[in-house]
Amino acid sequence: MPYRVTFVCTGNICRSPMAEWVLRHHVEEEGLDVEVDSSGTGGWHVGDGADDRTVAALARAGYRSAHIARQFEDHWFDRYDLILALDEGHLRALRAMAPDGEARGKIRLLREFDPDADGDLDVPDPYYGGRADFDLVLEQVEAAMPALLEEIRAALKEA
């Protein structure tokens, strides 16, 4: 059975799809048995593609992407092994939705895996910004990948 990871941001068009496709790239490259997807805490963009600026940032860095936004649903907790929130607001929303302690235990902040996060664990929302804001998000996502992959590899060995 594959290890299942999901990323959650606000509308599922900027940060979480970016993180999804960066992790997808790495697990595919390593041949790990991991399923990766993403969603948002709100439904404003359900059915939309990723923001063009997200797609462009991913492409500039050599990542592929294909995405349709969706909203996280409370009955999905059983589906995932690891639920990664992109900021404290998403973390609070997910914890409030969680049906029990086991579900709450699956929820983490992505930047917990970034050794250089320096106490600020929020990935900033680039939606109202420009190219530099999207590039910063990509940089923060990539910085978290080595430790996240280490955690995933360890979980796969335990399974």
Residue 118's pLDDT is what? 87
C-alpha to C-alpha distance for 92 and 67, rounded to whole angstroms: 25
Residue 96's pLDDT is what? 98
Residue 155's pLDDT is what? 97
Which residue type, as a one-letter code, is found at position 21? W
Q: Report the percent of the chain where pLDDT is more than 90.
A: 97
CATH number listed for the domain at residues 3-158: 3.40.50.2300
User: Quick one: average pLDDT of 15-21?
Assistant: 98
44-102 pLDDT, tens digit per residue, is 999 999 999 999 999 999 999 999 999 999 999 999 999 999 999 999 999 999 999 99
Residue 159's pLDDT is what? 81
Kindly list the catalytic residues.
9, 15, 125
Domain boundaries, the chain: 3-158
* Side-chain half-sphere exposure of 55, counting CA atoms within 13 A: 10
Among candidate residues 124, 127, 122, the one with its CA nearest the CA of residue 50 = 127
Per the prediction, the chain carries an average pLDDT of 97
In sign, the C-alpha dihedral spanning 119, 121, 127, 131 is positive
pTM above 0.85, yes or no: yes
